[in-house]
């Protein structure tokens, strides 16, 4: 990913230096296990650890690979340059390249998931804070973009909190599912290496042994991981789109924080654009773009081919780096977001009283009017509000049929805003458990 949308901690996970360090640890731990089994001399296993503080020369490995056309062999050649050719002759004993590559990739994905979970916690904390702050801030709910019935801004934030909390649970499961390693040798039969080596390496790297691998770890695990990242990205976009809508000039119920010195347009000095949430919408597309290739990687030829390899070299860093950046940006947007309660009430009252239509409809049916007749009575008055901006309550009070069915006091009672917010506490308790 380009530096503009990247945070250093996540980028570091995918650096060549980190990758080669993990490769080294896999090989060194495997040598220890083989020495324990008496497969290789103890002194050779110990000699490999002479390189534990080495910063492997990426340029030198690339130079070797230019000749060998094989990245793992290039690394092993470079490792021997540090350890000594004789001392390193048992490194990679009975192993195949995928043992190193796949186990390393899963270590990187686990570490990436841990950083993503930190970002999700920041988003959840910001959403909860704003939900509690605006628990009783009334705004109009919209369906199909049209005024529906009253809700609260706190419920909007709480709804997004619940969605992100589900996503955190999904990511924790995806992290667990991808946290496996394989040191099973060519085609995964352990013919040339003892399963105890795999168990030892996985324990040292915080992984579980893959129950059954071929020459690769099954890619359905990775498909699930990237699919989960795609769902999280979609939830980020869900929040971003809501904020973008609220910032529209004719709505202006909420807005991104506009910092001192910030400029909205090179042409129009008055502009205050929702650039951060528009950016989040775009970043979500990039993350979702990695999901289909990850799913297509599941179907490999026989025990292995490398059609998945080039894909994962791209989507591994791209998806995690982008989502990490997006989560932290979203947390900042929510934390600093401006909310305008007065505008919320003004918007709801642009068509005075109209949002109470269902309550009047239900009251009429309960008073003995057929649903068809009740709907017609309410709608004929509601349409006048739409067309002439008249007051819905006043129209109902002037409609003899409605007054006859309900009475004046009952009509007035149907315009109590508290009716629509009476269960907010119940919903908050369900979401936040408090």
CB 113 within 8 A of CB 171: yes
184 is catalytic: no
265 is catalytic: yes
All residues at 6 or more sequence positions from 82 whose CB lies less than 8 Å from its CB, including other chains: 50, 51, 54
> Which pair of tokens denotes residue 381?
């008055």
| C-alpha count within 13 angstroms, C-beta hemisphere, residue 192 | 12
Please state, in angstroms and rounded to a whole number, the distance separating the CA atoms of residues 186 and 201. 17
> Residue 146's beta-bridge partner residues?
143
CB 334 within 8 A of CB 127: yes
DSSP code at position 138? E
Cα angle for residues 112, 114, 118 (degrees, 5° grid): 115
DSSP 182-209: ----GGGS-TTS-HHHHHHHHHHHT-EE
CB 232 within 8 A of CB 174: no
Please state, in angstroms and rounded to a whole number, the distance separating the CA atoms of residues 73 and 50. 19
Instruction: Look at the block and give the residue holding tokens 């690979």.
Output: 65
Question: How many residues can be counted in the chain?
Answer: 434
CB 90 within 8 A of CB 41: yes
The one catalytic residue among 265, 307, 310, 370 = 265
Burial class (CB in 10 A: 0-12, 13-18, 19+), 224: middle
Q: What is the CA radius of gyration of the chain?
A: 30
Please state, in angstroms and rounded to a whole number, the distance separating the CA atoms of residues 354 and 359. 10
The one catalytic residue among 144, 259, 266, 302 = 144
CB 396 within 8 A of CB 360: yes
CB 236 within 8 A of CB 285: no
CA 317 to chain centre: 15
Please state, in angstroms and rounded to a whole number, the distance separating the CA atoms of residues 126 and 129. 5
DSSP code at position 142? E
Please state, in angstroms and rounded to a whole number, the distance separating the CA atoms of residues 293 and 316. 11
Catalytic residues: 144, 265
């Amino acid at each position: 990913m380009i530096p503009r949308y990247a945070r250093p901690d996540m980028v570091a996970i995918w650096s060549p230096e980190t990758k080669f360090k993990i490769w080294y640890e896999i090989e060194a731990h495997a040598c220890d296990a083989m020495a324990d089994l008496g497969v290789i001399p103890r002194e050779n296993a110990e000699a490999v650890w002479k390189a534990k503080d080495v910063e492997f020369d990426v340029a030198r490995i690339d130079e070797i690979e230019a000749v060998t056309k094989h990245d793992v062999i290039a690394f092993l050649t470079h490792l021997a340059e540090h350890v000594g050719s004789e001392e390193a002759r048992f490194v990679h004993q009975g192993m195949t390249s995928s043992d190193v590559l796949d186990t390393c990739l899963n270590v990187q994905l686990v570490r990436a998931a841990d950083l993503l979970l930190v970002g999700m916690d920041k988003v959840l904390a910001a959403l909860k804070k704003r939900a509690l702050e605006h628990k009783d801030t009334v705004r109009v709910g919209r369906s199909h973009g049209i005024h529906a019935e009253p809700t609260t801004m706190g419920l909007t934030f709480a709804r997004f909190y619940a969605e992100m909390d589900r996503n955190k649970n999904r990511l924790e499961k995806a992290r667990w599912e991808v946290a496996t390693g394989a040191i099973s040798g060519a085609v995964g039969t352990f013919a040339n290496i003892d399963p105890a080596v795999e168990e030892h390496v996985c324990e040292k790297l915080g992984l579980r042994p893959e129950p059954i691998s071929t020459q690769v770890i099954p890619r359905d695990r990775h498909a699930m991981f990237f699919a989960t990242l795609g769902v999280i990205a979609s939830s980020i976009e869900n929040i971003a789109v809501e904020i973008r809508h609220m910032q529209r000039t004719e709505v202006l119920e909420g807005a991104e924080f506009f910092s001192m010195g910030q400029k909205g347009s090179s042409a129009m000095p008055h502009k205050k654009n929702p650039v951060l949430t528009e950016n989040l919408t775009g970043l979500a597309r990039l993350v979702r773009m990695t999901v289909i290739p990850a799913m297509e990687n599941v179907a490999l030829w026989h025990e292995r081919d490398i059609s998945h390899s080039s894909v994962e070299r791209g989507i591994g860093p791209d998806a995690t780096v982008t989502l990490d950046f997006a989560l932290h940006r979203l947390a900042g947007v929510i934390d600093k977001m401006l909310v305008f309660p007065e505008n919320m009430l003004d918007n709801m009252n642009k068509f005075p009283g109209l949002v109470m239509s269902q309550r009047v409809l239900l009251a009429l049916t309960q008073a003995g009017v057929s649903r068809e007749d009740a709907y017609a009575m309410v709608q004929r008055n509601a349409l006048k509000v739409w067309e002439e901006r008249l007051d819905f309550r006043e129209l109902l009070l002037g409609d003899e049929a409605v007054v006859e069915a309900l009475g004046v006091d009952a009509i007035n009672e149907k315009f109590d805003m508290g009716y629509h917010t009476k269960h907010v506490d119940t919903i908050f308790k369900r979401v936040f458990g408090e």
